[in-house]
Structure 1
Amino acid sequence: MSPSIRIDEGYHEYWGWDSWHRSHEVQLSGENHRTAHFHPNWSNGTAGVQATRPLTHSWHYWEIHISNRVFGTSMMFGVGTKASRLHEDAFVNLVGVDDQSWGLSHKGLLWHNGKFRMFTKPFVEDQSTTVGILVDMEAGTLSYFKDGKYLGLAFTNLHKTDRDLYPFVSSTAAKTEMTLGTRKRSFQNLQDRCRFAVLRALQSEEDIDVLPTANKLREFIRSGLY
């Protein structure tokens, strides 16, 4: 059964991958560091990177476009705390290797606290794929989508962790690439919804500077872009 959350009604976000919370084997590029390049020369371990923004509202949804180089020991997609490991000099399932992260590997396995279970069919190797992740922070659940198809509920009780969670990906395979696509979240309140309406009506960020309103309100509107 698909989740009851209306993803199409969410607030568009523009966060990217975090240059401070990544393996040295991850290079970032694109607007707001949307693209993560793993092991640009060759691979001798596992590299991970987390997002710049924590999952703090009721629900969040984001998509990860994986290049057609889907192969290797482990390519993973999920969430983790800032205490998560971001690099290992070995080929491991990094997202879920301990109790600080939860992830799905391209081999169809769910990992958390070093344990795994079968969840879905392995991804077809050497074929581009889009993974969607839906986290409901109020319910404490994480669900996955693949190429627009709902795969099901993967993890529960995420709301019981005492640390913020961040989107988290990793790869063992050389010269692989993951790019953020759609990023949405629920509206926090009426003010949040109004900010979204204003941003949607503007043509560019520069238009915020000429809005006939107070500087403090302009900065609040601008903060919706990041």
Structure 2
Amino acid sequence: MQTNSITKFRWDPTYSSEAVELTAENRSTYLSEDTYLFRTVIADTKFDGGLHYWELIADSRTENELKIGVTKNREFDLKTSFSDYSFGWAFYGIGQLRHCDGANGPQYGKQFKRTGCLGVLLDMDKGTLSFALDGEYLGIAFEDEELKKGPIYPAIALLHIAGSTLVTGKPAPPVFFTSQ
């Protein structure tokens, strides 16, 4: 089993679309607006190497799926999704992946919207990004040499009416290591 460092961060109000409400010491996000545009929020901590794990707990008020993952860039229009660009990788809660494309991506995992806990594991030594939903390992979503090079920031993109609560400071569950 790999060594498992403890990752702690919060969402950064400086790198958050102004339409997104941050609460609970910048751990909870919520968006409620009439438009149907993704709004990105980026973490206050960068990763330059190693293993990093965090979770997102679904908000029961959510009507539209989230995009959850990482970005290598914080300087872009936060009124768009980070994963629409070459510097972003995301699991889209409709059960697809997104990278360099806002509308298309391969099937992956299961739907994640109003209920559940989504675990995210970034392994910068291997250049992989993996997810687990309610303790079920979904597999490696992305394997990319760019995921070995920092800085990399956790990110989330919300659409119309959506939210989640961030949980950090926990080791990655064994399912991420025994299922590979």
- Range into which the TM-score falls when normalised by the shorter chain: 0.7 to 0.9
Partner Cα distance (1:160, 1:154) in 2: 12
Q: TM-score, normalised by structure 1?
A: 0.67
> Does the 8 Å CA contact 1:75/1:173 hold for their aligned counterparts?
no
Matched residue, 2:30:
37
1:87 maps to amino acid: K
**Gap change, CA 1:22 and 1:122, over 3 Å in 2:** same
Partner Cα distance (2:136, 2:60) in 1: 19
Identity %, equivalent residues:
26
Structure with the largest fraction of helix: 1
Query: Residues 1-226 of structure 1: matches in 2 within 5 Å?
Result: 4-5=1-2, 7=4, 10-11=5-6, 13=8, 15-31=9-25, 33-39=26-32, 41-72=33-64, 74-81=65-72, 82-88=74-80, 94-114=81-101, 115-123=104-112, 127-159=114-146, 164-174=151-161, 176-184=162-170
Which 4+ stretches in 1 moved above 6 angstroms? Answer: none
**Gap change, CA 1:80 and 1:156, over 3 Å in 2:** same
CA RMSD between the two structures: 2.3
> Does the 8 Å CA contact 1:17/1:34 hold for their aligned counterparts?
yes
Of structures 1 and 2, the larger Rg is shown by 1
**Gap change, CA 1:98 and 1:128, over 3 Å in 2:** same
Structure 2, unpaired ranges of 5+: 173-180
